[in-house]
Each structure stands twice: as structure tokens, then as C-alpha cells.
Copies of this chain bind each other. A is one copy, B any other.
Amino acid sequence: MSLAGLPQHQGGADDLARLLARALLAGHWQPGEAFPRELDVCAHFDVSRNKVRNALASLTATGLIERTAGRGTRVREIGEWHLLDPLISDWMTGIDSLDPKLVRAIFAFRYSAEPVVARLAAEAANADDIQRLETAFQGMTRTAMNPEERGLHAEYDVAFHDAIYQGSHNLVWRQMGHLLRPSIIALIHSSQAHVHHEHEGLDDSLARHNEVLETIRRRDPSAAEHAAREVLKRTAIDLGIVDDPPASSGAVPAANAHTDLEEFS
């Protein structure tokens, strides 16, 4: 595949890396395929070889591509991508055609990890952490009704979940807050197709988020773990990963969600 369809480069420093990375993440090239040569990239975007090399160095550092002298540049398998690198998370956000396999993998990770993190947060969170959770939740509530503020609502959503990871007060868990943004932004695009139950879905989602906040505030680890899992069950429905329950209680899809999620890599 060539560089033909890509947008124009605007001159920013890491902008070229971002551009190429997003094309890769969107599947513009297949894994194993050859990536354009340095000089071709230089010619197409009319930039110096230096900038191209810097950009390709970023792509190499994140595991997206692999370069060897004399051979050229090849696209690596998805399994080799450094999904936990903040750069990757940054590049992923806002890609409309993100590989569904990736969205499911990230969500499956969150589904298994976030309850444990919420438990840790209920044990370790301090006043600042709870304050962050609270303001994020209030922001979510305030922007829930207005469809115009969908993007802002997502940002508060990200902030809420990130506050859980921060609240764990563990250096490693804290790093994973970055994965939240692409996962939650994907939810916006995905839920376009599920508008039929928007209001009930949002109310339900808010109630479950509130439960997480309250359980962490009162330092109840087991309840926090449970509440976080309930939030993610709701999210699984909104992401279209599991079927919408037949407007019944809401606890029904639990088993489905569990078994379904485990099948995806």
C-alpha cells in the first residue's frame, strides 16, 4: 500500500509520527507488509529525511514497525504493538475505524482488571483521590442530558475511571489509565448505533458509577470491586459486545458478559 490516501502534513514536530501511526492503527497497511521507504515518505510529505527518521523512530519504539538496515521497514503484528505505551493510546483516540479486535481486547482487559483496581482504590485512596472521583462524577451527571456535550461527557468518564487507577496508589496500575481514553472514546462512536435506549442506558450507567464512588468513599473494598464490575457490565452493553437485555432487571446479562468476554483475545 502506498501513501496515496493520507491527509496532508501540517508541520508539527511529532505530527508526522501521529499521522503515520494513525494510518497504521486504522489498518492502512497489513502486518508483514512493507512500509514505504524513507525517501518516498520525504518526497510525499515534502519534509527532511531527519524528520522522517524521527517519526519512524517513534513507530519503532512503540513496536508498530520493524526496521533493518538493507532490508527496509515492515509492519509488525498486532500482538507486537506496545499497547500500554502512552503514545499508542494517544494515537488511538478518535480513530473511527479502530480494529474491533483491539476494542474488545482492551475492554476484556478492563473487565478483568478494573474490579481489582477499584478494590485497591477503596483501600488506598486519600481525600484528593476521592475529590477527583467526585468532580468527575458531577461532570458526568451535568453533561449526561445534552447530546451536544457527548464529547465532554466522555472526558469526564475518562477522568472518573482514571481516578480509580490513580487511587490505587500503585506505580504500575497508574500507568494503565492511558488505555481508558481510546476505550471510552470508542464507546461514543459505537453507541451511535444503539441510540434506541440512550436515556435509560445513561441513567443506569450514572447510577452504577455513583455506586463505585460511594463504596470507595466509605472504604468498602469488596463492594467497590462488585460495583466496578457492574459498571463494566453496563459498558459492555453500550459497546455492543454483549446483547442488550430484554429490558428486564439488568443483572441478567452478567453471565453472558462473563462468558462472552473470555473468548476474545
Interchain CB contact under 8 A, A86 and B82 = yes
The yes or no answer to A173 lying at the interface (CB within 8 A) is yes
Query: Complex formed: what's the CA distance from A78 to B84 in Å?
Result: 17
Interface string of A156-171 (1 = CB under 8 A from B): 0000000000000111
Pairwise interchain contact A108-B170, C-beta atoms closer than 8 A? yes
Centre residue among A83, A84, A116, A172 by max chain B CB count within 10 A: A172
Q: Which residues of B contact A173 (CB under 8 A)?
A: 109, 112
Which residues from chain B contact A238 at a C-beta distance below 8 Å?
A: none
Please report the total number of A residues contacting B with Cβ < 8 Å: 40
What is the minimal beta-carbon distance from A51 to any residue of chain B, in angstroms? 13
Return chain B residues, CB-CB under 8 Å to A119.
Answer: 112
- Known A61-B61, A85-B85, A179-B172; contact A262-B105, beta-carbon cutoff 8 A: no
A224 to chain B, nearest CB (A): 13
- Set of chain B residues within 8 Å of A87, measured between Cβ atoms: 61
A265 neighbours in B (Cβ, 8 Å) = 124, 169-171
Known: A82-B85, A82-B86, A87-B61. A172 touches B116 (CB 8 A): no
In whole angstroms, what is the CA distance A125 to B47 when docked? 47
Partner pick for A105 among B86, B105, B116, B172, CB 8 A cutoff: B172
A108 to B108, CA, bound (A): 22
Do A84 and B262 touch across chains, with their CB atoms under 8 A apart?
Answer: no
Residues on B with C-beta less than 8 A from A174 are: 79
A211-265 contacts to B, CB under 8 A, are: 262-265
Given contacts A112-B116, A112-B173, 8 further A-B contacts (CB under 8 A): A58-B61, A84-B84, A84-B85, A106-B171, A108-B170, A109-B170, A171-B265, A172-B179
Closest 8 CB pairs of A and B: A109-B172, A84-B84, A105-B171, A169-B265, A61-B61, A123-B262, A112-B116, A84-B175
17 A-B residue pairs with CB within 8 Å: A58-B61, A61-B87, A78-B171, A79-B174, A82-B86, A84-B84, A84-B172, A84-B175, A84-B176, A105-B171, A109-B170, A109-B171, A112-B119, A123-B262, A124-B263, A170-B265, A172-B179
